[in-house]
Structure formats: structure tokens, C-alpha cells
């Protein structure tokens, strides 16, 4: 074989092999998601622009108190912190895989000092000498069968999956805080209504008792009035328990329980602005907006890349 052809082949063949990959190309599984019974999103409102799909959807309630509670929960929750730590670890791994595809260089050096006695040559003294040695080397690993490329793709998929997991944790935590905050307001309103209802029944009982004493009302009405009071008292007690449990749930989400309490403002639910309606869209669009589903698919992408 011609030496020039042999030299070209020795370079071209590894480069061609580097463009090949043993890992199969990822193909998203086909899912039959029917749209029957689902309202399609308006043409002017794509899925990524729907209300609630953007960050800070809870701010539509216009409550600085709720904004502060969500920020506090995101900062204090250990699950959110753990998810962020996993993302940082995956980002470091991905960065390392990127460096593996670049040429590497090493530079080293040594310094040697020696002392020679020249008395044998009639010179009554010693001579010190210093020798410097510097060495440099460079290396580049040819990515045969795209092994490094597939490893990098798997690391990138792991990073994106970790980011999707973190988004899912933060999204779920935010929804839990908003739900707990609204639940406290709802139960507090029910408690106030129950207290007013109890006061009304107690007043009615006194009036019926006075009329029974005067002989103008039968005893059955007194018994009925007392039953109404007892039922109102039981309902109010249950609402008080539910309200206390709702407060504890919010305190747990904020990391304050049992050392701290949460004070929810006096604004009633009826006074909060009504958030804009979110079009349901197609089932496939709902799946694409779910970070947990995205994380699962990205892990499948990474597993496919690691096959090679």
C-alpha cells in the first residue's frame, strides 16, 4: 500500500469510527392520548403561554403574605434543598464529561542540585551545580464508536432530569403551601360563620324558654331549640379542630412546627381576586407540562445513550 494512503487511512478510519455510535437513537414512545371530552386550548393561547404555566402563578391572588410564605417554604424545605444538591452534582458530572472530549496536556519539571568535591583536581573547594528539566506532553482520546459522546449525552440527560425533578418538587411544594393557606382562610371563615350560627341558636333557645315559661310555647319547642344549640356547638368544635390541623399543616410546610406559629391575614376568600381560568388543553399537552413526566422521559433518554 502506498505510504501516503496508509497514513491517510490511519487517520481517517478512527475519525469515521468516532462518528459511529453503538447506542440506538432515542425514539419517543407513541402514546394514544385521545382528546374526547377535553377542551382544546384557544389558538391564541398556546400551552406554554397559558396562565399558570409561567413561574409565580400564585401571585395572581395578589397577596404579599402568600408570596412571602411560598418563598419561605421554598427556602426552608429539605426536599427542595436535596433536589437542588442533586442538580449541582449532575451539573458537575456533565461538566466533567465535556472536558473528557477535549485534548489534555501535562507539564512537569524537576530541579536537581548536586555538589562536587574538586579536591582531587588540586582545587581545595566544592562546586554546586543546578540542573533544570522541563517536560510537556499532550494527548487526545479519539472517540471510537462515539463512546465519549454517548457518555456526555447520558450525563446531560441526567442533568436535565435532575432539573425537572427539582422543578417538580418546587411545583408540588408551592401548590401545597397555596392549598394550605387557602384552607386556613376557608376554615376560619367557616368557624366565624359557625360562631354566629351558635349565637343565633342560643338566642333563639332563650326566647323559646321564656315563652315556654310564660305558657305560650310547648315543651317540644324547647327541646328542639336545645338540640339546635348542641348541634351548632359540635359543628363549631369540629371546625376549630380542622382549623388547628390546617394551621399545623401550613407550619410543617414552612418548617416552623412545633416551635412557631403562622398568622394568616384577615382577608376573606371572597375578597381575593379571582385567578384567570386555565384552558385544560389536550391530554398530551398536560403531560408535556408535567415535570415528573419530563424527568422520567429524560432518564429513558439517558438509559438509551448508555446502551452504547
DSSP string, 109-156: EEEEEEEEE-GGGT--SEEEEEEEEEEEEEE----GGGHHHHHHHHHH
Residues 83-94 have a mean pLDDT of 67
Architecture of domain 50-102+148-306: Up-down Bundle (1.20)
Residue 157 has pLDDT above 70, yes or no: yes
What is the value of pTM for the model shown? Answer: 0.62
DSSP state of 255: T
pLDDT digits (tens, 9 = 90+) for 262-275: 777 766 777 777 77
**H or E element at residue 307:** none
Return d(Cα 29, Cα 64) in angstroms, integer.
Answer: 43
pLDDT band at 122 (very low <50, low <70, confident <90, very high): low
Q: What is the pLDDT of residue 126?
A: 58
**H or E element at residue 105:** strand 104-117
Say what angle helices 291-306 and 147-213 make with each other, to 10 degrees.
160
pLDDT digits (tens, 9 = 90+) for 74-87: 887 777 777 667 76
Amino acid at each position: 500500500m502506498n505510504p501516503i494512503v496508509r497514513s491517510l487511512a490511519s487517520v481517517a478510519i478512527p475519525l469515521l469510527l468516532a462518528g459511529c455510535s453503538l447506542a440506538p437513537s432515542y425514539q419517543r414512545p407513541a402514546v394514544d392520548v385521545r382528546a374526547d371530552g377535553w377542551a382544546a386550548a384557544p389558538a391564541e393561547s398556546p400551552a406554554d403561554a397559558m396562565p399558570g404555566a409561567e413561574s409565580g402563578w400564585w401571585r395572581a391572588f395578589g397577596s404579599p403574605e402568600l408570596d412571602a410564605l411560598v418563598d419561605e417554604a421554598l427556602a426552608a424545605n429539605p426536599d427542595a434543598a436535596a433536589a437542588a444538591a442533586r442538580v449541582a452534582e449532575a451539573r458537575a458530572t456533565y461538566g466533567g464529561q465535556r472536558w473528557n472530549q477535549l485534548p489534555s496536556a501535562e507539564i512537569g519539571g524537576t530541579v536537581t542540585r548536586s555538589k562536587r568535591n574538586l579536591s582531587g583536581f588540586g582545587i581545595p573547594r566544592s562546586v554546586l551545580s543546578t540542573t533544570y528539566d522541563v517536560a510537556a506532553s499532550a494527548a487526545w482520546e479519539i472517540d471510537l464508536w462515539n463512546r465519549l459522546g454517548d457518555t456526555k449525552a447520558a450525563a446531560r440527560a441526567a442533568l436535565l432530569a435532575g432539573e425537572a425533578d427539582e422543578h417538580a418538587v418546587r411545583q408540588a411544594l408551592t401548590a401545597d403551601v397555596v392549598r394550605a393557606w387557602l384552607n386556613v382562610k376557608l376554615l376560619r371563615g367557616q368557624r366565624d360563620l359557625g360562631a354566629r350560627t351558635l349565637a343565633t341558636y342560643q338566642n333563639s333557645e332563650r326566647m323559646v324558654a321564656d315563652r315556654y315559661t310564660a305558657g305560650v310555647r310547648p315543651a317540644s319547642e324547647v327541646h328542639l331549640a336545645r338540640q339546635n344549640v348542641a348541634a351548632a356547638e359540635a359543628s363549631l368544635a369540629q371546625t376549630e379542630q380542622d382549623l388547628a390541623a390546617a394551621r399545623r399543616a401550613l407550619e410543617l410546610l414552612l418548617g416552623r412546627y412545633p416551635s412557631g406559629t403562622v398568622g394568616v391575614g384577615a382577608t376573606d376568600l371572597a375578597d381575593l381576586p379571582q385567578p384567570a381560568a386555565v384552558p385544560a388543553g389536550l391530554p398530551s399537552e398536560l403531560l408535556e407540562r408535567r415535570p415528573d413526566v419530563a424527568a422520567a422521559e429524560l432518564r429513558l433518554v439517558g438509559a438509551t445513550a448508555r446502551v452504547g
